[in-house]
């Protein structure tokens, strides 16, 4: 079997390093092209190869951080060619019926629209080489995404609640159940001095956690979160990455 | 570039059809093996190739359909080697603190545990060749999963509500908002006579929708759903697939 493996890896090496590699963008524009068929290829190729680099990602969301911000961080960290389309709240009722699910954010790429935050985040993770070393690690990344999102949703339910008594109940659920569960889950993943949440390299799992923690001026002040040293350290590490640091410093300023 | 593409596809064809292909399971057992590095390879290979076929998937859930059933259908349709571990409700309080997120279902594979339904479903979709033709189709599959799950969660919130007045409010949200939104989304995907929800082949998007519809004895009787002809037809098509039909006929009988 060694011969087979060597043959395949030599093939990939040859493609990745070929002089005309920068001209392979035509392969990416077709949904049946090489880049899509062998989805691991892009990850194995050095970034300088330029394979699939010409794609334009158009992200549409409100002029808020909220559910859109984690995706913007992924696009920035992945060095993607992307457009940050921000719609006004007052324009939303007219736009809503034209969307796939009546919701934003959505991502447009290669003539296809992808709705739902998780689908967008995991798609971009794969495209930009931030989904881990293999499919099993990608599943772990997805698991982290879903667990963070449950906590985010719990905060969101409390945030939008207008009735003061009900709001207290929902905040209590967030404080006593959702948030501690997320912390326990994350701390266990980092407890053996692991540098990143999944595998040996940074993935969108780290980005999504850091983006969530960074947004927690409400309902829990960020200072409180520092009790969880490992998660706080991870957040600092991600927000100190040059591209994300630059994004935070220059992004549009919004309340939440 | 034609030469490159031909070279790669010939390589894949050679690997897929090689006599000793059934002996490649060692490649799959390593997380850095060929099968994980080139994640498209398994999909391109004919099923008879046997690549990655020896993996054992252990699914743990309650003795219920609920959130576990869609995953069981995926495992059955994907012809996976899997174990259906069902825990008793009375054993759950003792098991809960030992789980990653305090939740089930979870999947054990290659010594790794994956929690969260979406992470499990999308991982298995990739492993079993049911995630579409490429990464963009996989993103569409993921989008369908997330949209179905939102509706499932809306039904779930109404189901577990004990207070009769609050239950009515939650049922109304399901009936008037969540369920119609899902139907509109699915019908639009099928309106041009499309055979499947994503691309030109069956994916877990179809399985997840059919499993959800099949479970809708509550809160909406299945008869009501037949108003949506296209979605009803899709459900029938999936539940008529030999492996899924066989599973439904022989699975443990539970209330929901």
Phi, psi of B107 (to 5 degrees): -120, 130
Q: How confident is the model at residue A139 (pLDDT cuts 50, 70, 90)?
A: very high
Segment among A55-59, B17-21, B156-160, B191-195 with least mean pLDDT? B17-21
Cβ–Cβ contact A146 with B under 8 A = yes
Cβ–Cβ contact B139 with A under 8 A = yes
Per-residue pLDDT averaged across A40-53, rounded? 46
Q: What is the pLDDT of residues B35-84, one digit of tens each?
A: 444 444 544 443 334 454 569 999 999 999 999 999 999 999 999 999 99
Per-residue pLDDT averaged across B173-190, rounded? 92
pLDDT at A24 over 60: no
Q: Residue B121: its pLDDT value, please?
A: 98
Q: Residue B234: its pLDDT value, please?
A: 94
Question: Are residues B139 and A122, on separate chains, in Cβ contact within 8 Å?
Answer: yes
Which of B3, B12, B34, B39 has the most A C-beta neighbours within 10 Å, making it the best mutation to test the interface with A?
B39
Residues 6+ apart with CB under 8 A from B248: B214, B239
CB A196 within 8 A of CB A241: no
Look at chain B and count its residues.
Answer: 256
Other Cβ atoms within 10 Å of B215 Cβ, number: 17
pLDDT at A194 over 80: yes
Q: Residue B16: its pLDDT value, please?
A: 52
Q: Residue A215: its pLDDT value, please?
A: 82
Per-residue pLDDT averaged across A143-155, rounded? 95
From CA A237, how far away is CA B47, in angstroms rounded? 44
CB B196 within 8 A of CB B235: no
pLDDT at A187 over 80: yes
DSSP-derived secondary structure for A203-214: -HHHHHHHHHHH
Instruction: Report percent pLDDT > 90 for chain A.
Output: 65
Where do the structural domains in chain A lie, given as residue ranges? 8-54, 135-250
Query: What does pLDDT average to over chain B?
Result: 84
Whole-model pTM? 0.82
Strand ranges for chain A from DSSP E: 56-62, 81-87, 106-109, 112-115
Chain A segment 7-26 residues within 8 A of B by beta carbon are 7-8, 11-12, 15, 18, 20, 23-24, 26
Per-residue pLDDT averaged across A57-66, rounded? 97
Q: Residue B200: its pLDDT value, please?
A: 96
Structure token pair of residue B238: 């999936």
Q: How confident is the model at residue A8 (pLDDT cuts 50, 70, 90)?
A: low
Tell me how far CA of residue A23 lies from CA of A82, A210, B38, in angstroms.
Answer: 21, 36, 22
pLDDT at B5 over 60: yes
Instruction: Determine the 3-state secondary structure of B87 from DSSP.
Output: strand
In A, minimum Cα distance to B182 occurs at: A101
Cβ–Cβ contact A140 with B under 8 A = yes
Instruction: Determine the 3-state secondary structure of B131 from DSSP.
Output: coil
Question: Are residues A18 and B4, on separate chains, in Cβ contact within 8 Å?
Answer: yes
Q: What is the pLDDT of residues B93-144, one digit of tens each?
A: 999 999 999 999 999 999 999 999 999 999 999 999 999 999 999 999 999 9
pLDDT at B217 over 70: no
Per-residue pLDDT averaged across A187-192, rounded? 92
Q: How confident is the model at residue B203 (pLDDT cuts 50, 70, 90)?
A: very high
Question: Are residues A112 and B140, on separate chains, in Cβ contact within 8 Å?
Answer: yes
CB B146 within 8 A of CB A119: yes
Q: Residue A2: its pLDDT value, please?
A: 61
Report the run of H or E that residue A10 belongs to, with start and end: helix A2-17
ipTM: 0.82
pLDDT at A176 over 70: yes
Instruction: Report percent pLDDT > 70 for chain B.
Output: 74
Question: Are residues A39 and B181, on separate chains, in Cβ contact within 8 Å?
Answer: no
pLDDT at B171 over 50: yes
Domain B135-250 has CATH 3.10.20.600: no
pLDDT at A33 over 60: no
From CA A144, how far away is CA A140, in angstroms rounded? 6
Q: Residue B218: its pLDDT value, please?
A: 63
Q: Residue A23: its pLDDT value, please?
A: 36
CB B130 within 8 A of CB B78: yes
CB A157 within 8 A of CB A223: no
Q: What is the pLDDT of residues A222-249, one digit of tens each?
A: 556 666 889 989 999 999 999 999 999 9
Question: Are residues B137 and A11, on separate chains, in Cβ contact within 8 Å?
Answer: no
Q: Residue B215: its pLDDT value, please?
A: 82
CB-based contacts of B92-97 (< 8 A; 24+ apart in sequence): B92/B62
Q: How confident is the model at residue A255 (pLDDT cuts 50, 70, 90)?
A: confident
pLDDT at A26 over 80: no
Q: Residue A36: its pLDDT value, please?
A: 43
Q: How confident is the model at residue B9 (pLDDT cuts 50, 70, 90)?
A: low
Residues 6+ apart with CB under 8 A from A114: A106, A107, A108, A120, A123, B136, B139, B140, B143
Partners of residue B87 on adjacent β-strands: B62
Question: Are residues A32 and B134, on separate chains, in Cβ contact within 8 Å?
Answer: yes
């Amino acid at each position: 079997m060694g011969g087979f493996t060597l043959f395949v890896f030599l093939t990939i090496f040859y493609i990745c390093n070929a002089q005309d590699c920068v001209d392979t963008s035509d392969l990416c524009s077709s949904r049946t092209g090489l880049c899509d068929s062998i989805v691991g290829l892009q990850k194995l190729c050095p970034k300088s190869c330029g394979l699939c680099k010409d794609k334009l990602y158009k992200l549409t969301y409100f002029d808020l951080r909220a559910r859109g911000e984690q995706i913007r961080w992924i696009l920035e960290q992945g060095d993607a060619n992307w457009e940050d389309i921000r719609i006004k709240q007052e324009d939303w009722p007219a736009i809503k019926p034209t969307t796939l699910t009546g919701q934003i954010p959505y991502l447009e790429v290669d003539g296809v629209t992808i709705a739902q935050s998780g689908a967008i985040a995991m798609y971009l993770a794969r495209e930009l080489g931030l989904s881990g070393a293999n499919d099993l690690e990608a599943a772990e990344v997805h698991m982290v995404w879903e667990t963070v999102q449950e906590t985010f949703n719990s905060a969101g339910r409390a945030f939008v609640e207008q009735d003061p008594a009900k709001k207290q109940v929902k905040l209590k659920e967030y404080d006593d159940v959702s948030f501690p569960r997320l912390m326990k889950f994350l701390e266990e993943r980092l407890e053996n001095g692991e540098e990143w949440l999944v595998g040996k390299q940074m993935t969108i799992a780290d980005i999504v956690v850091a983006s969530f923690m960074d947004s927690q001026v409400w309902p829990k002040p960020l200072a409180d979160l520092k009790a969880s040293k490992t998660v706080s350290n991870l957040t600092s590490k991600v927000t100190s990455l040059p591209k994300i640091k630059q994004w935070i410093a220059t992004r549009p300023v919004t309340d939440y």
